[in-house]
Amino acid sequence: MQHGRRALAYVAAIVLLAAAAFYNGYPLVFSDSGTYVDSSFGLEVPLDRPAAYGAFLAASHWKTTLWLPVLLQGAVVVFVLDVILAAVRTGARPGLAVLPIVALLAAGSALPWFTGQIMPDVFAGVLVLTLFLLLFCPDDLSAARRRLVGLLCVLSIAVHFSHILLAAALVVTAASWWAALRLARGGPPRPVRLGYATTCLGLSIVISVLFNLVRTGEPFLFSRVSHVFLTGRLVSNGLIQRLLDERCDGASYALCGLRDRLVADSDHYIWSPDSPIHALGGFLGSKEESRRLIHDVIVAYPGAVAASSLRAAVAQMATFRTGDGLGVYGDDTWIGRVVRRRFPSEAGAYFRSRQQQGTLWSDAQRVADVHQVIVWACLAASPALALLDRRRGRDRLARLHVFVWIALLENAAITGALSTVVDRYQARIVWLLTLAVLLSVDAAVREGAQRGVGTRLGLAVPHDRQPARSDDPLPGARAKRRDASSAEASATPPRSR
């Protein structure tokens, strides 16, 4: 019976996370979705994307329907949330407690809009949660769950270039915390376990490099055209134009004769047919010129580069509106042509969907208004709730708040510095803060209810009879001590008067 209820709770939670796609009438897509879907049919390495998400799609759509990846993405999120709940919430019933949490996240966050989309963005949140589990809770997981969490962590790192940098930043931050605690306490600190997370990061990097080597003959980690995106970022903030203005009289940059075609917009530089990059040889042919420009700009204007990156990070931290990129992608777009060619039986549903009819965007904006209010409220409440959790002995939940804040800051810094400031980069993980707030409120309400029951019954609950905290390194120790004390008392003969 218990397993049946758990399975029903999982299925209901997965359906809730696919609600945006169901409402649309077809899985949501983005301009990059076509590249991922097309690469999944031959496991090719896209020119400007990693191959891991294409491999995930190939393993899930079975060349039959794009609904299967959406449902699998929902299953991954539900499983990870279930493990997180078991780790930070004392007394949670496995598989059952996750359903109300998912329902609240589905109604009050952008999570279902990413879970229902054919994009790797949903794995950004999975990455943060699996790293948290491996860093702070590995001993609480069964061997099977720990391996599955590790596998999902490796996949989540590999599916997007920014995820590799985010994972590395989070591991380095955790290692710094570990070193600081070691110095302060004079011995190895218990709260941080670096081995599992570091292993997952290393495995993801090694697998990505080896796969790229086998498929392309080149052992690269990121993209073969990373230089194009970095150059576009420096064009958007005007630093390449500044360099050309100052040096074109004496330097032989190929862009000197094309300065009048440079627009301070990275998307224009990267994707526009009028971009001067085509005169440089396209994405691959512009490598040497781009690398030279990037190097010279950083050497000539390090302060300006740092200031521009900081401004972008601050802007990205506050840019997280739901619905970014949910435009119309018809027959004249790559994803439209890929769906028609690869999934011809679904082409009708694709083109009839609300997104392709142009009505989903306005619906998403109404939802986004609500989400904005909720996120700002969670940003304001999270620090106070983390302090409350710490004072109440819920250390692991307090650490979750801190870890999510670090992830938000580092994600904003990475994406803001290396790409354009857009809503989806931060919206893909800001729902984690809503999750942390929900868990803290849930813990406070349950604690208040337990105290209220004890007060009404006239009972005082001794400290050693309270439920062990989820972050207690030996959750059964107090019970063992209590049993031993009871046995000792029963074995002691009563004193004679």
pLDDT score of 374 more than 80: yes
Judgement on whether residues 322 and 371 belong to the same structural domain of the protein: yes
pLDDT score recorded for residue 8: 92
**pLDDT tier at 96, thresholds 50, 70, 90:** confident
pLDDT band at 221 (very low <50, low <70, confident <90, very high): confident
pLDDT above 70 (res 232): yes
For 407-426, the DSSP string reads HHHHHHHHHHHHS---HHHH
Q: Are residues 280 and 332 in the same domain?
A: no
**How many beta carbons lie within 10 A of that of residue 430, not counting itself?**
29
> pLDDT confidence of 90, banded at 50, 70, 90?
low
More confident residue, 489 or 82: 82
Do 188 and 80 have their domain in common?
Answer: yes
Residue 311 lies in a domain: no
Percent of the chain whose pLDDT exceeds 90: 70
What average pLDDT score do residues 426-455 get?
A: 88
Q: Alpha-carbon distance 241 to 287, whole Å?
A: 18
Give me the percent of the chain exceeding a pLDDT of 70.
88
Closest to 84 in 3D by CA, of 102, 72, 70, 67: 102
* Domain final residue, candidates 243, 265, 300: 300
pLDDT band (50, 70, 90) for residue 460:
very low
- pLDDT at site 379: 97
Structure confidence at residue 492 as a pLDDT band (50, 70, 90): very low
401 and 421 part of one domain: yes
Same domain, 260 and 173: no
Tell me the residue type at 63: K
Same domain, 39 and 166: yes
- Both 216 and 68 in a single domain? yes
Contact criterion met (CB below 8 Å) for 21 and 114: no
For position 483, what pLDDT does the model report? 52
Average pLDDT of the segment spanning 99-119:
97
- Mean pLDDT (whole number) for 356-385: 96
Exposed/middle/buried for 362, CB within 10 Å: 0-12, 13-18, 19+?
Answer: exposed
Confirm whether 80 is domain-assigned. Answer: yes
Mean confidence (pLDDT) of the chain: 88
Where residue 474 falls among pLDDT bands split at 50, 70, 90?
Answer: very low
The reply to whether 373 and 472 lie within a common domain is: no
What is the domain count for the chain?
A: 3
Residues 183 and 330 in one domain: yes
pTM of the entire predicted model: 0.88
Closest CA to 59 of 77, 40, 79: 40
pLDDT at 470 over 50: no
Do 11 and 73 fall into the same domain? yes
Average pLDDT over residues 424-434: 98
Q: Does residue 290 sit in the same domain as residue 398?
A: no
- 411 in any annotated domain: yes
Residue 190, pLDDT above cutoff 70 = no
- φ/ψ (deg, to 5) at 389: -60, -40
- In the predicted model, is pLDDT for residue 93 greater than 70? no
Question: If pLDDT is split at 50, 70 and 90, which confidence band does 94 have?
Answer: low
Q: Which of 274, 300, 326 is the last residue of a domain?
A: 300
Q: Is residue 306 part of a domain?
A: no
Single residue among 271, 300, 329 that ends a domain in this structure: 300
Closest by Cα among 362, 342, 365 to 354: 362
Q: Do 132 and 200 share a structural domain?
A: yes
> What residues does 28 pair with on adjacent strands?
117
Mean pLDDT of 435-456: 82
Whether the per-residue pLDDT at 485 is higher than 60: the answer is no
The pLDDT of residue 191 is 65
In a domain, 305, yes or no: no
- Radius of gyration of the CA atoms of the chain, in A: 26
Most confident of 68-77, 217-226, 272-281, 387-396: 68-77
Range of the domain at 436: 2-223+318-449
